[in-house]
Structure 1
């Protein structure tokens, strides 16, 4: 079982509204439970799958201005309250924007998960508006031809946008993050 605790670290004047809207939007993702508001800047939810944790984390990293803590409680006996506490412990008091921290009940080293999200954060932060549009369509299930038609550009231009946006690195990083999270959720006892 997973939980994700996110803290808004931006400078938005109406931060409470932004945090509330973000919680509502993230709660609509597949496999994501309802995000609870924890004060003005913090939200937390229990999440069912490694894929949903990765998608949610990447959405927050793409949005910027969020620090993220992921809690992992392997096993069928995991308690939602326990996994929420792990996520809150992971985020800590001195969290920084764009940083993902992970805490597991098994006390395994979560450094590989943290590292893959650091790499994904770097790829996402370097993306232009055009790159975000192109990758969003691809993530939504379109192929390059369909996405190019949607944007009104040639297939070659679409290919160039995806290359410049680091689409292949994002795809590889997403798969790696999902695999590492699944392994951690199994409670294998092996250091990651």
Structure 2
């Protein structure tokens, strides 16, 4: 079972509203259970699969205001492992894995997210717009048309935004989470 726990670390004065809205929005992602709001700053949920977990973590990392815990444990304890793992620093992912090789798997997953987070936080507003359109499934021509720019300008924006590095990091994190889940002890 995989769980995600996030703690809001932004500076918004209406943090309870931000946390509540974020929980609602994240609950709409495919494969994500309902996010529970825990206290004023924390949200947590179980997710169905590695891809759902990765999509939630990517959304939280993109925002940059969340400390994130990811728990991968047998016997339905993922959400509790995620709660134990969550830290205090924004845009940091800490991982707890209950597998035959917990330290290595947790460290590797956290390292992959650190690299992805670095790429995401270097993005300009234009880079965020470009990558958001491509992530939604538009090709470069369609995304360029949507933004009212040339295909060449779109390609340059994606390159400057580190789109290829993000995609490589996404695949790496997905593979690591999938392996960690497959390595869970049998029930």
Aligned residue in 2 for 1:118: 114
Structure 2, unaligned runs of 5 or more: none
- TM-score, scaled to structure 1: 0.92
Give the distance between the partners of 1:61 and 1:113, measured in 2 at CA: 14
Deviation at 1:28, TM superposition (A): 0.5
Does residue 108 in structure 1 map to residue 102 in structure 2? Answer: yes
Could you say what the CA RMSD is over the residues aligned between the two structures, in angstroms? 1.2
Counterpart position of 2:58: 58
The Cα shift of 1:188 comes to 6.1
TM-score, normalized by length of structure 2? Answer: 0.94
Q: For 1:29-178, what aligned pairs fall within 5 Å after superposition?
A: 29-74=29-74, 78-79=75-76, 82-92=77-87, 95-106=88-99, 108-109=102-103, 110-178=106-174
Alpha-carbon offset, residue 73 of structure 1: 1.4
Deviation per residue, 1:131-167 (Å, 9 max, x gap): 0010001100111011111111100000000000000
Q: Which consecutive unaligned segments of at least 5 residues does structure 1 have?
A: none
Moved beyond 2 Å, runs of 4+: none
Equivalent pairs, count: 182
Structure 2: distance between partners of 1:184 and 1:145: 37
